[in-house]
Homo-oligomer: A and B are copies of this chain.
Amino acid sequence: MKERIYLFDTTLRDGQQTPGIDFSVEDKIAIAAMLDEFGLDYVEGGYPGANPTDTAFFEEKRTRRAKFVAFGMTKRAGVSASNDPGLATLLQAKADGICYVAKSWDYHVRVALGVTNEENLETIRASVEAARAAGREPLVDCEHFFDGFKANPDYALACARTAYDAGARWVVLCDTNGGTQPSEVRDIVAQVIAAGIPGANLGIHAHDDTGQAVANSLAAIEAGVRQVQGTINGIGERCGNANLVTIVPTLALKPHFAERFETGVSAEALAGLSRLSRAFDELLNRAPEAQAPYVGASAFATKAGIHASAIVKEPKTYEHVPPETVGNRRKVMVSDQGGKANFIAELRRRGIDVPKDSSRLDALIAVVKEREAEGYAYEGADASFELLARGMLHSLPDFFRVTSFRCLVERRFDANGNLKTVSEAVVKVMVDGEEKMSVAEGDGPINALDIALRKDLGKFQDEIGDLELVDYKVRILNGGTEAITRVLIESHDSTGARWWTVGVSTNIIDASFQALMDSIIYKLMKNREMAGLVAAE
């Protein structure tokens, strides 16, 4: 029989404390649905009464399976629970549970609340009882528990015990300042349990201020707590909260934990973890972290020559968990450092078969190495790599040819005497023996060139209607304005496909042109491939 670990998500509450993150009611509804679907046990939605967004969000229950939790302060000292308007708002929220934040460090009770230690215990007791009376599951976040315990263990324990005795389903030990070390967490949790509060009623709430929020959470579980609080992608105040996207697969997949524990997240849901993590970043409009554990684009990527050939032979011994269990994938990267085995594996994954002793393959490897020495970065530009490989190993259709282009940026005073900058691009393209000339203005020379390039490609024009540029990156590879410029472009289309292309030149316009061209050609080739696959069926 495995022991159940309960997962408590605070993305919508503590996650909202992240500098730069502000959720709308619509954001919160969308995120709550994702969390619920994933199989988390508790979704803390915010602090009804504290701001209009959270108040509106709690007008309805927003989860189907997970318990929906409202966060708030305990009642004020000096008024009865029934006479505290803040508490009343909290109890009226359409929530399954109420998570109170309660001081458990005597210093803060005195300085921040200005009440006696006994009064603070009384507010905890009365607030928990009020939640129970209102038919809500009571939870108590013991704020500054670990620092409080170090300063005055008896009082910190008294706070936790008061919450437990009053009927709190969960007493959550919070490392509010985030500086507690895993050994200290382990040690203090053991003392709390020894003092008579069962681990089955204890939770852990950790922050990442020493980069150990995940380790602190897992240490607390090893020491006996059975609820863990965290957020998606570890967002949260300062350095963030414990990252549930890291904790959940660790509990499920690492034998050290998986042999003893289970959670409410199914294996099927876990296989959607990478998608969940990326969809969340998408909603926040930020680039996913490539090196994120389990779900990052690089989490199962290998560059090294010495490991790469072995990984192709025997992936299991080089991967701590199989990438597909978390919906991620293995990536053996083409780069300067990679060997022939890398190349063949990568080509095969792209449906390009080539014999190991092909002289064309050797030529391709030589060209890739030479170009990477010039500044190309094919490991980050899969589409440019594929075009180069197909072109050199087999052949590519000659869709169209740009015979010339011109970009003009002019800054001058307009008719009203205002300084104005105008960017214009002119492109000449040959399609099917016919010359087309297009002109466009843009927000800058590259934007103008992009618009002009895609304005009239004759018979191919219909095919590129859904092509969109989603990211554009520039890197100067060495100093000075005469330096080499590398441009990386990310594109996508309506099929959901995403691809990356690269251009390198001493001239930024030239580098951008190369990457833009590769993106368009890749799109046309991809369309043909898909049509070919359909035709072959």
| A residues adjacent to B (C-beta < 8 A) | 17-20, 22, 24, 26, 50-51, 73, 101, 105, 107-108, 111-112, 144, 147, 176-179, 181-184, 208-212, 214-215, 218-219, 222, 234-235, 237-240, 243, 246, 250, 254, 256-257, 285, 290-294, 296-307, 310, 313-314, 317-321, 331, 333, 335-337, 372, 377, 379-380, 402-413, 421, 423, 442-447, 450, 469-483, 485, 490, 505-510, 513
Q: Is the CB of B481 within 8 A of A293?
A: no
Contact between A320 and B181, CB atoms less than 8 A apart: no
Complex CA distance for A179 and B421, rounded to whole angstroms: 54
> Are A254 and B210 within 8 A (Cβ)?
yes
Give the distance in Å from the alpha carbon of A477 to the alpha carbon of B287 in the complex: 11
Q: Assess the A408–B408 pair: CB atoms within 8 A.
A: yes
A404 touching B410, Cβ below 8 Å: yes
A239-B299, A291-B238, A300-B238 known; A177-B20 Cβ under 8 A: no
Q: How far is the CA of A479 from the CA of B287 in the complex (A)?
A: 9
Asked if residues B178 and A218 are in contact (CB atoms below 8 Å), the reply is no
Name the B residues within 8 Å of A508 (CB-CB). 444-446, 474, 508
9 A-B interface contacts by CB (under 8 A): A18-B303, A20-B377, A22-B377, A101-B306, A111-B313, A111-B314, A421-B509, A444-B510, A472-B479
CB–CB B421/A411 < 8 A: no
Known: A26-B478, A179-B320; 11 extra A-B contacts, CB below 8 A, are A17-B303, A50-B305, A105-B317, A181-B250, A211-B293, A214-B215, A235-B291, A239-B292, A409-B510, A421-B509, A474-B474
Query: In whole Å, how far is A333's beta carbon from the nearest beta carbon of chain B?
Result: 6
Q: Which residues of B contact A421 (CB under 8 A)?
A: 505, 507, 509-510
Other-chain contact of A210, B144, B214, B331 (Cβ < 8 Å):
B214
CA distance A475 to B442 in the complex (A): 19
Q: Which of B219, B298, B302, B303 contacts A182 (CB 8 A)?
A: B219
A415 → chain B closest CB, angstroms: 14
Instruction: Looking at the assembled complex, report how far the CB atom of A407 sits from the nearest CB atom of chain B, in whole angstroms.
Output: 4
Question: How many Å from the CB of A312 to the closest CB on chain B?
Answer: 12
Task: Determine chain A's interface SS by DSSP, over half rule.
Answer: mixed
Asked if B447 and A481 make an inter-chain contact with CB atoms under 8 angstroms apart, the answer reads: yes
A319 to B293 alpha-carbon distance, docked (Å): 27
Contacts of A413 in B (CB 8 A): 403-404
| Pair A475/B291 contact, Cβ less than 8 Å | no
| Residues of chain B contacted by A320 (CB below 8 angstroms) | 177-179, 209-210
User: Which of A20, A24, A301, A306 is most buried by chain B, counting CB atoms within 10 A of its CB?
Assistant: A20
**Which chain B residues lie closer than 8 Å to A304 at the CB level?**
17, 237
Q: Is the CB of B246 within 8 A of A507?
A: no
Contacts of A211 in B (CB 8 A): 214-215, 243, 246, 250, 293
Indicate if the CB atoms of B222 and A183 lie closer than 8 Å: yes
Residues on B with beta carbons closer than 8 Å to the beta carbon of A20: 290, 298, 377, 379-380
* A107–B317 alpha-carbon span in the complex (Å): 9
Q: Report how far A404 CA is from B412 CA in the complex, Å.
A: 4
Contact call A256/B291, Cβ cutoff below 8 A: no
Q: Which of A319, A379, A444 has the most CB of B within 10 A?
A: A444
A404 to B418, CA, bound (A): 11
B238/A22 in contact, CB under 8 A: no
Let me know if B19 and A111 touch, CB within 8 A: no
- In the bound complex, what is the Cα–Cα distance between A337 and B54 (angstroms)? 12
9 tightest A-B contacts by CB?
A179-B320, A215-B215, A444-B507, A404-B412, A211-B246, A474-B474, A443-B506, A211-B214, A447-B481
Taking the closest CB of chain B, its distance from the CB of A225, in whole angstroms, is 15
- Are A112 and B310 in contact, CB atoms less than 8 angstroms apart? yes
Q: How far is the CA of A314 from the CA of B144 in the complex (A)?
A: 14
With a cutoff of 8 Å between Cβ atoms, the chain B residues found around residue A214 in the complex are: 210-212, 215
